[in-house]
Chains A and B, each alone.
Chain A
C-alpha cells in the first residue's frame, strides 16, 4: 500500500513538474511539455550524463564523438560540432535535442519546430549543474541528485589518495604540440589541482594559452602530461627540453583516445580522469 502511495506521489510530482519552462545556457527560454522520450544528444559529456541517469534507452541519436557507454556506439550519428546534420535530426522526430552552446545548430532546429536546449559543459562545476538540469529536463531529479552525490564521492576518494602523497609535483599539461597548455581555471586545471599537482601555468594566462617553450624549460616541471598521440617522441626531441626534469626522469604521461576523453569531458566519469592524473603524478 505504502509503495503504491509513493509511486502515486512520484507521478503526481512528475505531473506537477511538467510542462517545464527553463532557461538554457544561451539564455533562451525552453519549454518541455512532457518528460522527453526521444532525445538527441550532440555532446559526448551530455550523452554520458543522460546514460548515467538511467535514461540511455531514451536516446535516439548522438553526435559523432559520443562513445560511452558501449551501447551508445550503435546509435545513429548526427554529425560533429562543425558539421552537424540537422535534417537527419529533424527526421528522427525527437522531443528534445541537447546541443552545444557553440555553433548555430539550435537556430536551424528551432525553425523546424523542435525543442532545443543548449548546454555548456566546460568547467568542473558544469558537471553538477548540467547533471541537475538534465535531471529536471528528463523528470529524473532524484536520480540526478544521487548521481551528483556519487560523482562527488568518487572524486573525493581520488583526492584523498592524492592527499596522502608526500610531494606535490610541478606539472606541465600539453593538449597540443603547438604548444597549447591549460590554465588553472579550466576543467583540466581544476583536476590537476585536485590531483595535488602544481600547474606551472598561472591563472593570468587564461584557460588555454599558447605558451613559450622556454618558459616551460625554465619552470622545469617534474611531470608532463600530453594528450595527443606521438607526444613522447615529440617532446623528447625538442631543443633544450632534454634538461627538463620530467624528460630526464621519464615522467611523461601520454593519454590518448579513451583516456583523453576521460580528461576532456566534464561528465559523470570525471573521477576516472582524476584517477589517471593521481596515478601519473604520484606514481604507480
Chain B
C-alpha cells in the first residue's frame, strides 16, 4: 500500500483541499439560504455597503458558528478514536449528549415549558436559565460522572463502559421527563436532532473562547496519541505520564463537545465520519489528524447545515437528520471498502 506521491506533498494537498472546502462552505453558506438573495446583494451586505440583517446577523454567524461546532466535534471525535483506539468512538462516548439532553429536559420541566430555552444565548450573557447553559453543564456533569464511575482515566475499557452506563441512564430519565408533556416531546426531540437556527454573534464568541481554551492542549497531544497506538504499556514504558495526559485529553475534548452541544444540540456522525475519512488520506498520525479533523468537521457540518436550510426551503430540516442520512450510508460504504481490501 505505498503511495505514489511523496508524503509531504500528499499531506500538504490534503490540507489545501480542506481549506478550499472550508472556503467554499463559507461562501455558499452565506450566499444561499431559505431566502433567495442575489449574489450582488450578499456581497454588498458583507462589505457594509448595504444593510441586510439576513446576511450579516443571521447567515454569517450561523455559518461561522457551525464551523466552530463542526470543528469541535471533528477534533473531539478524532481524539476519542485515538485515545480509545476504537474507530467507532464518537464525541459523545463519555455521555455528554445524554447529559445535555437530560439537563435541557430538566430545565423544561422546571420552567413548565421550553421558555427561554432555545434562545441561543452565549453562555456568558445575562440570562441565567438558558438551554445553552444547562446543556453545557449537563454535558460536563455527565462526563465527570463517567470519569468518577470509571475510577479516573486509568483504565480505558472502564471508561467506555461507564460512558455507556451513564448515557443509558440519563437517556432513560430524559425520556421519562419528556413524556410527561406532549409539547415537551416535540421541543426536546428537536433539540436532540441538532439545531443551528439561532447561532448569532454571541454564540460565535462563546465558541471561540472555548476553542482558545481547549484546542491548544489537544493539538499538542498528537504525539501522545500516536504513542498510545502502540498500546498503553509501551507508551508508559517510554516514559509518558499517561494518567495525567489521558485526563487532560479527555477534559479538553469534553469541554469542546460540551460547548458544541450547548450551542447546537446533538449532531451525530460529524465527529465519527470526519476522522475516518481523513485517516484514509493522511496517515494515522494524530499530529496531523487532529487539525485536519477540525477543518474537515467544520466543512462537513457547514455543508450539511446548508443542505438542511435549502433542501426544503423555506422549511428547515433538523441538521442532525441531514448528517445522519448522509453519514450513515457513507459510513456503510467505508466499511464495505475496508472489508473488500482485507
A124 within 8 A of partner (CB):
no
Assembly CA distance A11 to B327 (angstroms):
68
A interface residues, tally (CB under 8 Å): 33
Question: Cβ of B182 and Cβ of A81 under 8 Å apart?
Answer: yes
- Min CB distance B43 to A, Å, is 17
Q: Given A178-B118, A230-B111, A240-B57, does the pair A210, B316 have CB atoms closer than 8 Å?
A: yes
Task: Closest B residue to A206 by CB, please name it.
Answer: B315
Question: Cβ of A210 and Cβ of B190 under 8 Å apart?
Answer: yes
Question: Cβ of B53 and Cβ of A240 under 8 Å apart?
Answer: yes
Nearest first, the 9 A-B pairs at minimum CB distance are A239-B200, A230-B115, A212-B34, A240-B57, A215-B314, A240-B58, A240-B53, A178-B190, A234-B119
Residues of chain A within 8 A (CB-CB) of B181 are 80
Q: Given A210-B190, A214-B33, A240-B58, does the pair A230, B116 have CB atoms closer than 8 Å?
A: yes
Question: Cβ of B198 and Cβ of A83 under 8 Å apart?
Answer: no
A256 within 8 A of partner (CB):
yes
Assembly CA distance A219 to B112 (angstroms):
31
* Contact with A217, one of B53, B113, B191, B199 (Cβ below 8 angstroms): B53
Residues of chain A within 8 A (CB-CB) of B61 are 239
17 contacts between A and B (CB under 8 A): A80-B182, A81-B182, A82-B182, A176-B186, A178-B186, A205-B314, A206-B315, A212-B34, A212-B309, A212-B315, A218-B54, A229-B113, A230-B113, A231-B115, A238-B198, A239-B53, A243-B57
A68 within 8 A of partner (CB):
no
- Min CB distance A225 to B, Å, is 16
B246 within 8 A of partner (CB):
no
Task: Closest B residue to A231 by CB, please name it.
Answer: B115
A69 within 8 A of partner (CB):
no
Assembly CA distance A27 to B242 (angstroms):
66
Interface string of A166-186 (1 = CB under 8 A from B): 000000000011111000000
Assembly CA distance A274 to B120 (angstroms):
32
Residues of chain B within 8 A (CB-CB) of A230 are 111, 113, 115-117, 119
Assembly CA distance A83 to B58 (angstroms):
40
Question: Cβ of B313 and Cβ of A243 under 8 Å apart?
Answer: no
B187 within 8 A of partner (CB):
yes
Q: Given A233-B119, A240-B58, does the pair A214, B34 have CB atoms closer than 8 Å?
A: yes
Which residues of A does B touch, CB under 8 Å?
80-83, 176-180, 205-206, 209-215, 217-218, 228-231, 233-234, 237-240, 242-243, 256
Residues of chain A within 8 A (CB-CB) of B191 are 178
Interface string of B49-65 (1 = CB under 8 A from A): 00001100111010000
Within 8 A of A (CB), among B130-174: none
Residues of chain A within 8 A (CB-CB) of B198 are 213, 238-239
Given known contacts A176-B187, A215-B35, A239-B198, what 19 new A-B pairs fall within 8 Å (CB)? Answer: A80-B180, A80-B182, A81-B182, A177-B117, A205-B314, A212-B314, A217-B54, A229-B115, A230-B111, A230-B116, A231-B115, A234-B116, A234-B117, A234-B118, A238-B119, A239-B61, A239-B201, A240-B200, A242-B53
Residues of chain B within 8 A (CB-CB) of A80 are 180-182
Residues of chain B within 8 A (CB-CB) of A243 are 53, 57
B243 within 8 A of partner (CB):
no
Question: Cβ of B114 and Cβ of A212 under 8 Å apart?
Answer: no
- Min CB distance A210 to B, Å, is 5
- Min CB distance A29 to B, Å, is 29
Question: Cβ of A211 and Cβ of B179 under 8 Å apart?
Answer: no
B105 within 8 A of partner (CB):
no
Question: Cβ of B115 and Cβ of A83 under 8 Å apart?
Answer: no
B318 within 8 A of partner (CB):
yes
Task: Closest A residue to B204 by CB, please name it.
Answer: A239
Task: Closest B residue to A181 by CB, please name it.
Answer: B315
Assembly CA distance A231 to B114 (angstroms):
9
- Min CB distance A36 to B, Å, is 27
Most A-side CB within 10 Å, residue of B121, B190, B198 = B198
Question: Cβ of A214 and Cβ of B112 under 8 Å apart?
Answer: no
Within 8 A of A (CB), among B308-342: 309, 313-318
Assembly CA distance A217 to B57 (angstroms):
11
Most B-side CB within 10 Å, residue of A206, A209, A210 = A210
Assembly CA distance A209 to B33 (angstroms):
16
Most B-side CB within 10 Å, residue of A177, A228, A231, A242 = A177
Q: Given A176-B183, A176-B186, does the pair A238, B200 have CB atoms closer than 8 Å?
A: yes
Question: Cβ of B182 and Cβ of A217 under 8 Å apart?
Answer: no
Assembly CA distance A231 to B181 (angstroms):
19
Question: Cβ of A217 and Cβ of B115 under 8 Å apart?
Answer: no
B197 within 8 A of partner (CB):
yes
B79 within 8 A of partner (CB):
no
Residues of chain A within 8 A (CB-CB) of B309 are 212
* Contact with A256, one of B113, B179, B316 (Cβ below 8 angstroms): B113
Q: Given A210-B316, A240-B53, does the pair A217, B117 have CB atoms closer than 8 Å?
A: no
- Min CB distance A92 to B, Å, is 23
Question: Cβ of A205 and Cβ of B117 under 8 Å apart?
Answer: no
Question: Cβ of B197 and Cβ of A213 under 8 Å apart?
Answer: yes
Residues of chain B within 8 A (CB-CB) of A237 are 119, 121, 127
